Amino acid sequence: MEFESVIHGESIIKKYKGFELNVPMLDVPKGFATALIGENGAGKTTLLDILAGIRLDYKGSLKFFGKYDDKDRENNPVVKNNIGYEGTGNYYLPSWTVKQAREVQTLLFENFDEAKYKDICSKLAVPDDDNKKVSDLSDGNNMKIKLAGVLSRETELLILDEPASPLDPLMRDKLNDMIRTYLNEKEGERSVLFSTHNIADMESVTDYAIIVENGTIVEEGFVEELKEKYICVKGEKQDEEAASKILYSMTSNNFGFEGICLSSKLDELAGLSVVKETPTLSQICIAVMKQNSKLYGIN
């Protein structure tokens, strides 16, 4: 499926000792929720930090909203105001109180809506205690006030780094709702890019998936397309060996096997008695990751 890109990147490279992020081509579709999926250390945060402008020491070119480059992102308030970023680090001074954290945001961002912020905080069940220090908040509550911060601004792109990680299941569900609401408020104009290593929790909100492994993109596409590209296959023990040559990734037990293969390879399974199912996004991600870990010789 063709799409317009809210972020387009070329030859994005950042080298660390022992790790290199190297993304020849990046496209984040406009109007959708995109998940950046990968193992710990795959390069998700590095990539998001580069996109958000937290990290500026990289090579490559970036284009935002189809017309602005990364210098505009730094210098043009229109671009800056239209991007909301939430990172895993602390970005309020530990000594600040909840109240001060809120007031700083009203000063920093022209489009910060304080009433909306308070409303989101109460919806997310953030303890209503203005004098509490930010550093005394739990990880979950810390994330909630950060999310309330980005969602209270009139933006067109959200970049969220692991928003679900510190949240409990109920709050993850609310996060999904908030992302859908955000997208719906401006039909087709708003986009969300978030990273996660726990895709099962975010699957119901993910439209486009970008899987990163070892610093580079190994698979990407609209979820519905990926679900057609790959297929989940289950079979009996006697067919295991024959199937193992065709399946992308496979787990077996004493009674049978289960695995993911490319739908285009289904013909090769003819003759084996197998059950075919549409895979979940998690299953696809795990299969792709396993496959690539094998290629890189990690496992």
The answer for residues whose C-beta is within 8 angstroms of residue 56's C-beta and 6 or more apart is 74
Interface residue with another protein among 12, 26, 33, 137 (CB under 8 A) is 33
User: What residues between 192 and 231 interact with another protein by CB under 8 A?
Assistant: 203-208, 222-224, 227
Residues in contact with another protein, total (CB under 8 A)? 22
Provide, rounded to whole angstroms, the least separation between the CB of residue 173 and another protein.
8
Provide, rounded to whole angstroms, the least separation between the CB of residue 232 and another protein.
12
> CB-wise, 28 or 134, nearer to another protein?
28
Q: What is the dihedral of CA 180, 185, 188, 193, to 10 degrees?
A: -50
Provide, rounded to whole angstroms, the least separation between the CB of residue 196 and another protein.
14
Q: Which of the stretches 25-33, 79-87, 88-96, 287-295 binds another protein when contact is defined by CB under 8 A?
A: 25-33
Distances (CA, A) of 102 to 106, 224, 293: 7, 39, 43
Strand, coil or helix: 124: coil
Interface residue with another protein among 75, 139, 188, 198 (CB under 8 A) is 188
| 8-state DSSP, 278 | P
Strand, coil or helix: 102: helix
> CB-wise, 137 or 199, nearer to another protein?
199
User: What residues between 249 and 288 interact with another protein by CB under 8 A?
Assistant: 278
Sheet holding 274-277, edge to edge: 249-252, 256-262, 230-236, 274-277
Contact present, 68 and 157 (Cβ < 8 Å):
no
The C-alpha atoms of residue 56 and residue 77 are separated, in whole angstroms, by 17
Tell me: does residue 180 bind another protein (CB under 8 A): yes
User: What residues between 132 and 161 interact with another protein by CB under 8 A?
Assistant: none
Candidates 213, 155, 198, 197; CA nearest to 179 is 155
Provide, rounded to whole angstroms, the least separation between the CB of residue 230 and another protein.
14
Q: Which of the stretches 70-78, 83-91, 150-158, 173-181 binds another protein when contact is defined by CB under 8 A?
A: 173-181
Provide, rounded to whole angstroms, the least separation between the CB of residue 93 and another protein.
36
Q: Which of the stretches 127-135, 159-167, 175-183, 211-219 binds another protein when contact is defined by CB under 8 A?
A: 175-183
Provide, rounded to whole angstroms, the least separation between the CB of residue 188 and another protein.
7
The C-alpha atoms of residue 74 and residue 52 are separated, in whole angstroms, by 10
Provide, for the chain, the percentages of residues in helix, strand and coil under a 3-state DSSP scheme, each rounded to the nearest 5.
40, 30, 30
> CB-wise, 41 or 188, nearer to another protein?
188
Strand partners, 258: 234, 251
Q: Can you give the binding site for another protein, defined by CB under 8 A?
A: 31-33, 176-177, 180-181, 183-184, 187-188, 203-208, 222-224, 227, 278
